[in-house]
Amino acid sequence: MRNEVDKYSLYDLSRMAGCSQPEGEDTDGAKFLRECISMAMEIDNYYDEVGSDEIAETADGLVPIYTNELWNVWVDCGGYRHDGEFRDFARSNDVGDMMNRIAQADCYEWAYNILGSYARDME
């Protein structure tokens, strides 16, 4: 499957995700985007039909859980320039928590976009 993932450049993956292209091949953002396309290929083989529920569940599992990795991915993929579609959630009085939610929502959106794009291409 590694060869299949390698056929997608960072440019291709960032366009599929709707984010900025990561700065390098070995950054957390690049690793995240490659993990997303790898998982897209895996769920395509696992499910008979990939629908929005499978895509949403898988995208949720791809969001980094560790703060440092989350922020590295978010910055590397240009989250600070991104007006995320999934940022519409309940307001929090904790600014730090709100910032983490923004980064998580953007990473979720990028994963969701890659998974959905791949699923549409496989139809």
Q: Which residue has the tokens 């499957």?
A: 1
- pLDDT for residue 53: 82
> 13, 114 in Cβ contact below 8 A?
yes
Distance, C-alpha 42 to centroid of its chain: 15
- pLDDT for residue 104: 92
**Is pLDDT above 60 for 89?**
no
Q: Which residue has the higher pLDDT, 53 or 32?
A: 32
- Rounded to an integer, the average pLDDT of 95-111 is 85
**Is pLDDT above 90 for 112?**
yes
What ranges do the domains of the chain cover?
A: 2-122
Whether this model's pTM surpasses 0.85 = yes
